[in-house]
Chain A
Amino acid sequence: MIMIRSDLFIVLLTGFVHATLQLGIGALLLLYHASLGKHVKRKTRELVTNYIFGNAFLTALAVSAASFIIFVIFQGQMNPAILTIVVGILVALAISVWAFYYKWGKSTELWLPKSVANFINKRAELTESNTESFALGMLACFAEAPFTMILVIVAANSILALPTGLQILMVAIYTLLSVLPIIIMRVAVRKGQTIVDIQKWRLKNKNFLRVISGLGFFVLAIFVLAFKVIGAV
C-alpha cells in the first residue's frame, strides 16, 4: 500500500514539475499574440485548443511509449542501478534549471538555441490552420524534451508499478497536469486577461518559477532515491 502511494505521489510530482517548465506557455503566448492580430477570436480559440491537444497528445504518447519500452527492456520496472543514474540526472537538471533554464536579464528567454526559438516564433506567426497549431503544440512539447524526457521516464516507471486499472488513469492525470498551465492560460485569456498581463506576470515571477522548477526536480530526485532505490534494496 505504501509503495502504491509513493508511486502515485511520484507520478503527481513529475506531472507538477513538468507543468512548471515554460516552453509550452511561451509558445502558446506567441500563438495567441500572432493569431489575435490576424483572426477573429473564435478562430484563435480553435487554434489554441488544437495547440493544447497537440501538446497533450505528444505528452501522453511519450509516457505510454516510455512505459512500454521500460516494460519490454526491464520486464517490469527499472532496477535500482539504473534508477541511481536517473537520480543523478534529476539532480543535474535541478542545477541546470537554477543556472541556465532562463537566460539572464530582463526577459523570459529560455535556454533554447536562438535558431530553435526563432523557428518556433516563426511557426507561431505562420500558423493558420488547426492542423498547424496541433503540430505547433507537439513541436513545443518536443523542443523541451531535454528537460522532460527524464520526467517522462520516472513517471512511466512509477506507472508500471501501479495496478493495471490505475495505469491508464495515471497517464491521463500526468498529461492533464503537464498541460494544466496552458489550459489555465486559455481560461485567463477568455476571462479578459491580455497577453501583456500574462507576460508581465511571467517576467515578475521568473525567479520564483525558476526556484519552484529546480526544487521540484530536486525533491523528485530525493523521492526516487528514497522509495525506488533505497526502498528497493
Chain B
Amino acid sequence: MFVSKAKALKNKAKAIQKKAQTERKIAQATKDLAKAEKIKARAIRNIAVSESELVKDILREAKSLGIEQDEAKIYVKIVARKVSDWANERTEVTRRDIDGQISKDISKYNADLAFIYKNRGKII
C-alpha cells in the first residue's frame, strides 16, 4: 500500500516538474520571439532606402561642392537607383554601408562626390 502511495507521489512530482519545465520553455520562447521581432523591426527600418531621398541627398552634396545641378542630375538618378536596389536586396544595411556604396557607384562620374561619401562622418 505504502509502495503504491509512494509511486503515486513520485509520478505527481514528475508531472509537476514536467509542467514547470514546459512553462520555462514557453517563457524562453516568448522572450526569443520578442527579441526576433525587435531585430526584424530594426532591419525593416534599415532597408527602407528611398530612391528620392537618395537623389535629394546626393544633389545637396553636389551643390555643396559647387557642381552644376543640371549636370549632377544626369548621373545622380542612375546612382540612386543602383544604390536603392542594392540596399533593398539586403536584410540589414547601415548608413555607413549606404555611403560606401554611393561612393563606389558615383566614383565613375565624380571623384569629389565619391570622396565626400567615403569620408562622411570621419571629419572630426
A178: B residues at CB distance < 8 A: none
Contact B112–A196 (Cβ < 8 Å): yes
B112: A residues at CB distance < 8 A: 194, 196
Number of interface residues of A (CB under 8 A): 28
Contact A196–B115 (Cβ < 8 Å): yes
- Tell whether A108 pairs with B60 under 8 Å between CB atoms, given A195-B65, A196-B115, A196-B116: no
Q: Given A26, A36, A110, A112, which contacts B64 in the complex, CB threshold below 8 Å?
A: A36
Number of interface residues of B (CB under 8 A): 14
- Nearest CB in chain A to that of B122: its residue: A107
Q: How far is the CB of A96 from chain B (nearest CB, A)?
A: 17
B 42-75 to A, binary, CB cutoff 8 A, 1 in contact else 0: 0000000000000000001101111000000000
Q: How far is the CB of A89 from chain B (nearest CB, A)?
A: 24
A26: B residues at CB distance < 8 A: 123-124
B66: A residues at CB distance < 8 A: 36, 194
Contact A37–B64 (Cβ < 8 Å): yes
A117: B residues at CB distance < 8 A: 124
Q: In the complex, A185→B29 CA distance in Å?
A: 59
Q: How far is the CB of A115 from chain B (nearest CB, A)?
A: 12
Contact A120–B124 (Cβ < 8 Å): yes
**A229 CB-CB contact with B under 8 Å:** no
Q: Given B63, B65, B124, which contacts A110 in the complex, CB threshold below 8 Å?
A: B124
Q: How far is the CB of A59 from chain B (nearest CB, A)?
A: 18
A127: B residues at CB distance < 8 A: none
Contact A112–B63 (Cβ < 8 Å): no
**B119 CB-CB contact with A under 8 Å:** yes
- Nearest CB in chain B to that of A35: its residue: B64
Q: Which residues B70-117 have CB closer than 8 A to chain A?
A: 112, 115-116
Contact B65–A30 (Cβ < 8 Å): no
Contact A112–B124 (Cβ < 8 Å): yes
Contact A37–B123 (Cβ < 8 Å): no
Q: Which residues A175-196 have CB closer than 8 A to chain B?
A: 194-196
**A90 CB-CB contact with B under 8 Å:** no
Contact A108–B122 (Cβ < 8 Å): yes
Q: Given B63, B119, B121, which contacts A121 in the complex, CB threshold below 8 Å?
A: B121
B116: A residues at CB distance < 8 A: 33, 195-196
Q: In the complex, A112→B121 CA distance in Å?
A: 13
A 16-38 to B, binary, CB cutoff 8 A, 1 in contact else 0: 00000011001101101111111
- Tell whether A121 pairs with B124 under 8 Å between CB atoms, given A194-B66, A196-B65: yes
A199: B residues at CB distance < 8 A: 115, 119, 123
- Tell whether A194 pairs with B65 under 8 Å between CB atoms, given A107-B119, A199-B119, A200-B115: yes
Q: Could you give 30 example pairs across A and B, Cβ below 8 Å?
A: A26-B124, A29-B123, A30-B124, A33-B64, A35-B64, A36-B63, A36-B64, A37-B63, A37-B64, A107-B119, A107-B122, A108-B122, A108-B124, A109-B124, A110-B124, A112-B124, A118-B121, A120-B124, A121-B121, A121-B123, A194-B65, A194-B66, A194-B112, A195-B64, A195-B116, A196-B65, A196-B112, A196-B115, A200-B115, A203-B119
Nearest 6 A/B pairs, CB to CB: A26-B124, A107-B122, A37-B64, A36-B64, A37-B60, A196-B112
B residues adjacent to A (C-beta < 8 A): 60-61, 63-66, 112, 115-116, 119, 121-124
Given pairs A26-B124, A34-B64, A199-B123, 4 additional interface contacts (CB within 8 A): A37-B63, A107-B122, A109-B124, A194-B65
